[in-house]
Amino acid sequence: MKFKRLVERIALTRPGDFLRRNLGPTVLLIFLLTFPLWEGSVSGPVHIKFLERMRLVGIYTIVAVGLNLLLGYAGQVSLGHGAFMGIGAYASSLLALRAHVPVYLTILMAMLVAVLISLIISPILRLRGHYLAMATLGFAIISFVVLREMTWLTKGNEGLMGIPKLSLPGVEVRTMGGEYYFIWIIAFLILIFSRNLVNSRLGRALKALHHSEVAAETMGINTSWYKIKIFALSAAYAGLAGALFAHIHSFINPGIFQLNLSIILLVMVVLGGMASIWGSIAGATVVVFLPKVLEAIPYWFGNKSLTQWFSNNYSNLEPMIFGIVLILVMIFMPSGLTRGLSDFFRYRRSPFVNPLKRGSGI
Amino acid sequence: MNETHFLKVENLTKLFGGLAAVNDVSFSVDKGSIKAIIGPNGAGKTTLFDLLIGVQQPNSGSIWFEGKNIVGYKAHQIADLGMSRTFQTIQLFGNMTVLENVMVGRHARTTSEFTQVGLRLPKFLREERKIKEEALKNLELVGLGLQADKLADTLSFGQQRLLELARALATSPKLILLDEPAAGLNTYEIEELRNLIYKIRDMGITVLLVEHNMGLVMRVSDEVLVLDYGQVIAEGSPEQVRDDPKVIEAYLGVEVNDFGGEG
Ligand SMILES: Nc1ncnc2c1ncn2[C@@H]1O[C@H](COP(=O)(O)OP(=O)(O)OP(=O)(O)O)[C@@H](O)[C@H]1O
Ligand SMILES: [Mg+2]
């Protein structure tokens, strides 16, 4: 009977399913695990420090995944996740510096602090769309000012120095390779956890409330509570990422976690693709490597003075470059890089849309 | 007293500014019956559904569902209690597949939380599999089994209405509210819908139906309630209501006036 076969096809798990579901992640894992072994042979010739940068990609991936759950799946925008990173970074650093708590514990505590603060401000989730964006913007500004002005605790603009390195019970992670593995193992686990999350009743609930809150409620979904939960989870991810950031850089100040950072995080989500867990890696990769590639290009053509000029001026140009990239992607590839490309391979559909044709795009 | 009724609505009123969209409405619904609510456009039928399901809160009155006054309950709590609905203006999750839409309907009847889901613990896997099976059963019931993998957006209008029905059924309701399920359907589809409504009733689900298609209402319902300007103007068997002068006036009166006004 047709129906029976249908049930079998869709509902029942078959032997190959595990492999099929995990093929992509396995390839990614192998790539990540072996990367430090061969990256050196690529790094040199192209003048990009891959390993150093890949640590950052891992950190940003963690935040971007959370932000993607919040924005891409649940449809709730946040301009405050840079601030949650800052909160995590400061919480972890201060606990390690002042209270001498081991770093593997301060990282967990940093996540808790970020969650607590997200719960305190969670009433703003009753706001919708632009209003929520404005409220989270307010939160980002307040956090920045508080970090700057609470000088007795945070030393203000001067920042915190000598932040201890990452550690596991008994071992301090000192090498760049060690940090790379530390960060990426966490990032990978978070990717898998989040992927599982979206392929479940919880992920469906998020997508449902994104589309129609009334219909979602009618299906028994406590929409306001789900928004709070996913907001808190994404804050935990951001707090974790902030803590990792602090412990690999050993120096932080409030300026790092300004609104700029929140916007760049959003750029990653949009670039990678809304409602796309793996896209977060793509978004983070582009954001981290784009400046380095731009910086290296003149070098490839033997023009050192241009490289010099570029690295001196890049930080001023960065917002503009990302602005341009963002606008181009929004116009031509509104479903993001990963979705656009996977659509291309799966349906042989061009990843580019013609913006002049109405109704094209997502 | 109130426990004896499956659903009992008492003196329910909903004001929008100065307009009483639902005005002192009282009625009751017997378990296992099919009751229709009819009335001219703007009579307050959809608003009444919104009040029952908790999407809107009434200004006064009470709603007794299985002996409990559910006024003040949130929509998701009422879904948990076993009331579900379809929408007059279709409210599907268009970016999800047909199957996923119905799977969302199982939300109220499942419990896996973040850790179980994130780590794919056995409880989650068992539950997820049951969700899929139940959802497919409901899709099959409304005849959409073969569309399971399509995006909800891509279905025809009639199929989308059926999908809403499947999704509402997936919540395992005791009472289902159908808001104009026949709107936009052709005669063949309406006939199918009628059989479907009987099937739903035979599953032990009580049906409350808002419908403009009088042919369907007269044949399918055990009882009919007539609203006009937010008030109950008649209640009884389809035959009683059809012959009620007040009902005829409410329907025809409007038309005659409109006719006169324009001509
Ligand atoms: N959210 C709202 N705010 C203000 N007025 C409303 C609102 N919802 C409904 N109304 C008004 O309440 C009245 C009843 O509307 P309702 O949608 O319940 O009618 P209905 O019987 O379902 O009509 P139809 O047969 O056209 O679907 C109408 O006059 C409508 O304009
Ligand atoms: Mg209506």
Number of domains in chain B: 2
Tell whether ligand 1 has an atom less than 6 A from the beta carbon of residue B40: no
Q: Which residues in chain A are closer than 8 Å to B146, comparing Cβ atoms?
A: 2, 6
Contacts of B84 in chain A (CB under 8 A): 218-219
Six token digits for residue B80: 């948990």
CATH code of the region A46-347: 1.10.3470
pLDDT (0 to 100) of residue A67: 96
Q: How many A from CA of B249 to the centre of ligand 2?
A: 20
In the block, tokens 């790379």 appear at A180
Shared domain check, B184 and B76: yes
B213 φ/ψ angles, rounded to the nearest 5 degrees? -75, 100
Residue B89 within any structural domain of the chain: no
pLDDT confidence of residue A261? 92
Task: Tell whether B259 and B179 lie within a shared domain.
Answer: yes
Kindly tell me if the per-residue pLDDT of B260 is higher than 50.
no
**In A, which residues are within 8 Å of B128 by CB distance?**
200-201
- The answer to whether residue B87 is domain-embedded is no
Are residues B10 and B40 located together in one domain of the fold?
yes
Instruction: Give this complex's ipTM.
Output: 0.89
- How many angstroms separate the CA atoms of A71 and A94, rounded? 30
Residue B3 has pLDDT above 60, yes or no: no
| Residue where one domain finishes, among candidates B148, B172, B196 | B172
Co-location of B47 and B62 in the same domain? yes
pLDDT at residue number B256: 42
Is residue B179 in contact with ligand 1, taking CB distance under 6 Å?
no
Amino acid letter at A151? Answer: T
With CB atoms and an 8 Å threshold, state whether A217 touches B145: no
Of residues B99, B106, B118, nearest to A193 (C-beta) = B118
What domain range includes position B257? 1-82+173-263
Mean pLDDT of A128-136: 91
User: What is the A50 CA–ligand 1 centroid distance (Å)?
Assistant: 61
CA of A117 to the centre of ligand 2 (A): 43
Task: Quick: pLDDT tens for A154-209.
Answer: 898 899 999 999 988 888 888 999 999 999 999 999 999 999 999 999 999 999 99
Choose the mutation target among B76, B139, B151 for the interface with A, i.e. most A CBs under 10 Å: B76
Phi first, then psi, for residue B19 (nearest 5°) are -90, 125
Closest alpha carbon to B38 in B189, B249, B207, B218:
B218
C-alpha distance from A246 to closest chain B C-alpha (Å): 27
Residues B259, B205 share a domain: yes
Tens digits of per-residue pLDDT, B184-221? 888 998 999 999 999 999 999 999 999 999 999 999 99
CA dihedral A222, A223, A225, A230 (to 10 degrees): 130
B177 plus B260 within the same structural domain: yes
Beta bridge partners of B84: B176
Distance CA B32, CA B63 (A): 18
**The pLDDT value given to residue B258:** 41
Interchain contact, B119 vs A193, CB within 8 Å: yes
- What is the spatial distance between Cα B71 and Cα B78, in angstroms, rounded to a whole number? 10
Residues in contact with A84: Cβ distance below 8 Å, sequence separation at least 6, in sequence order: A114, A117, A118, A234, A235, A238, A239, A242
Kindly state whether A189 is in contact with chain B, defined as any CB-CB distance less than 8 angstroms.
no
pLDDT level of residue B259 (50, 70, 90 thresholds): very low
Q: Which of B131, B154, B172 is the last residue of a domain?
A: B172
- B59 with B184, same domain? yes
- From B125, B147, B172, the end of a domain falls on B172
In ligand 1, the atom with minimum distance to the C-alpha of B40 is: 25
List pLDDT tens digits, range B51-97. 999 999 999 999 999 999 999 999 999 999 999 999 999 999 988 99
Query: Ligand 1 pocket, B23 CB below 6 A?
Result: no
Helices (H), A199-278: 201-211, 213-218, 223-249, 259-272
Task: Yes or no: say if A213 and A75 are a contact pair by the CB < 8 Å rule.
Answer: no
Which positions 24-63 of B are in contact with A (Cβ < 8 Å)?
53-55
